[in-house]
Structure 1
Amino acid sequence: MRYFEDIEVGETRHFGSYPVSRDEVLDFACKYDAQPFHLSDEAAAKTHFGRMSASGWHSCAMTMAMIVENMKSADEASLGAAGIDELRWLKPVYPGDTLRCETQVLEKRASRRRPEMGSVRTQMTVYNQDDVAVLRFISLGLIRRKPADN
């Protein structure tokens, strides 16, 4: 199990591989963000996107899928998150892209009110297959501290 005490400020981790499919982009857009440039190449061609692009919120959801998969494989002692700051959609995400994550620990603090946990501020950057940053945000994760008997 990877606990709060095991995390170092400045550490960087690379993980994930998420292929973006046209069907998934359409499905998400139809359900949650039915703007024309998320639904059709023809409509998107008339915009700065140039072709159909994934919703920014879909890009966030794909990122979350990679984060959770990484936490499971790394056996993280995650307790959820307190929020996200500075979310920026830097470049469009298109069907056919493959996304990956890079995260850097900016800061960590033990909780004064909840001694069983701490918070970790990380900068998450998501890249496409061409190593172009498409999404960036700061997250405030909550993570379990090591039990006293460890």
Structure 2
Amino acid sequence: MSCMTAPLYLDDLTIGDRFTSPSYTLEKDQLLEFASEYDPQPFHLDDELAKDTLFNGLAASGWQTASITMKLWTETLHVANGLIGIDCHLKWPTPTRPGDTLRVEAEIVDIKVSQSKPNMGIVTYHSLTKNQHDQVVQDTTTKVVVFKKPAVA
């Protein structure tokens, strides 16, 4: 599945459903602007200083990669009432570089209907954010609240 437009409810989702986002290219000026505002470290701000770091060159903040992932995910999975996150585990195995074109591939790995609030459930999805070389730049497992379809009177 990809780029759904109708809002999805808990009833519409099943374990194993897969989604692929559109792509997004991170330009160098965007990388520098984000880093200067939110993660002002030399390996995110200066080409020369970044060469002698663990990253061996300019790299986006992991938090910028996470923000782009969220943007792409919300453009792909249109859950009724929004993606309400309650838990997230993430890794950044490869740096995101200026000019990288990112996409998100996600799979629903668990669905649990709430016992105390039967009109909703918790959906767990595993997503990989990949660059244009198919390298994983972010690996995330996230739990979100998803509501059931409202009862028709």
Asked if these proteins are the same fold (TM beyond 0.5), I'd say: yes
Moved over 4 A (4+): none
Q: 1:145: Cα distance to partner?
A: 0.3
Q: Match for residue 123 of structure 2? A: 120
1:1-47 deviation line (CA, Å, top 9, x unaligned): 31101111012111121111111111111111111000011011101
Partner of 2:105: 102
2:3 match: none
Q: State the distance in 1 between where 2:52 and 2:140 align.
A: 29
Structure 2 residues without counterparts, runs of 5 or longer? 1-6
2: CA distance, partners of 1:137 / 1:113: 27
CA distance in 1, matches of 2:61, 2:129: 14
Matches within 5 A, 1:1-150: 1-71=7-77, 75-77=78-80, 78=82, 80-85=84-89, 87-149=90-152
Q: For 1:148 and 1:133, how far apart are their aligned partners in 2?
A: 41
Counterpart residue type for residue 118 of structure 2:
P
Moved more, 75-84 or 40-49: 75-84
Percent identity between the aligned chains? 36
What secondary structure, in the 3-state scheme, does the structure 2 residue paired with 1:96 have? coil
| Residues in 2 aligned to 1:79 and 1:110: alpha-carbon distance in whole angstroms | 16
Give the superposed CA RMSD. 1.4
Using the alignment, how far apart are the partners of 1:147 and 1:115 within structure 2? 11
Q: Is the strand fraction higher in 1 or 2? A: 1
Q: What is the total number of aligned residue pairs between the two structures?
A: 146
